[in-house]
Amino acid sequence: MHKTRTLDVGEFMRRFLLHVLPTGFHRIRHYGILANAGRKANLALARALLHVPAPVAAVQATERIAPTFTCRHCGAPMAITAIFLPIHPIHAPP
């Protein structure tokens, strides 16, 4: 059952902005073994538990060289020297 309600502008904006994620947060659209965040690790674990070898294309993909990026100011190639992982996982506000 739906109800119609009239809200003042401030209350409408407050309720609307509860659905907007802050900068740096990502919507989670998929869950489970094929979720993007851990897909490679989950599939590798599943294959190991089932004693199934990895497909040939997946083996070749892991042997590739790390991607190179180009500086947009000078055009020189950039290399990844370190990756900083977050200390605490990011959680959306309640």
Q: What is the pLDDT of residue 37?
A: 75
Give the per-residue pLDDT at 64. 54
More confident residue, 17 or 68: 17
Q: What is the pTM of this model?
A: 0.30
Q: What pLDDT score does 59 carry?
A: 45
pLDDT number for residue 36: 73
Using CA atoms, how far apart are residues 6 and 12, in angstroms rounded to an integer?
Answer: 9
- DSSP 3-state of 41: helix
Is the Cα torsion angle 19, 23, 27, 31 positive or negative in sign?
negative
Beta bridge partners of 47: none
| pLDDT tens digits, one per residue of 37-91 | 788 888 889 889 999 888 776 445 445 566 678 888 888 888 778 888 877 777 7
Phi-psi region of 51 (alpha: psi -120 to 50; beta: other; left: phi over 0): left
Compute CA distances 15 → 11, 18, 26, 74, whole Å. Answer: 6, 5, 19, 45
| Residue 8 pLDDT level (bands cut at 50, 70, 90) | very high
